[in-house]
Amino acid sequence: DGGITQSPKYLFRKEGQNVTLSCEQNLNHDAMYWYRQDPGQGLRLIYYSQIVNDFQKGDIAEGYSVSREKKESFPLTVTSAQKNPTAFYLCASSPWLKGAYEQYFGPGTRLTVT
């Protein structure tokens, strides 16, 4: 099956710990994105990547880091510097960046930090 996988579905961490969220796609898409969603809110862009070994900050990058070593993978690390990390995190990919095609989303990871 083609698609985007995110793991784990639920993640619990103690305050002060870094945590890495996984995102893998087998759609052969060039671009990948990370969004944060808070209850009753829309999505806010954290980071995006157009090609391997390149990524750009989105609207709320502070306290987060990413890497793009492979086309298929775009992991997100939530660092201890992120003040309010508890949220629903969504990863997405799209097939052609400049064509602005639709984005395909993974099922999300719900992170709870206590």
**Residue with structure tokens 């796609």?**
25
6, 93 contact by CB (below 8 A):
no
47, 33 contact by CB (below 8 A):
yes
35, 47 contact by CB (below 8 A):
no
| Rounded least distance, CB 81 to another protein, Å | 22
Task: Check binding of 42 to another protein (CB under 8 A).
Answer: yes
Task: Check binding of 46 to another protein (CB under 8 A).
Answer: no
Report the C-alpha gap between 67 and 16 in whole angstroms: 21
Nearer Cβ to another protein, position 20 or 41? 41
Q: How many residues bind another protein (CB under 8 A)?
A: 30
Interface with another protein by CB under 8 A: which residues?
Answer: 4, 31, 33, 35, 40-45, 48, 50, 58-59, 88, 90, 92, 94, 97-98, 100-108, 110
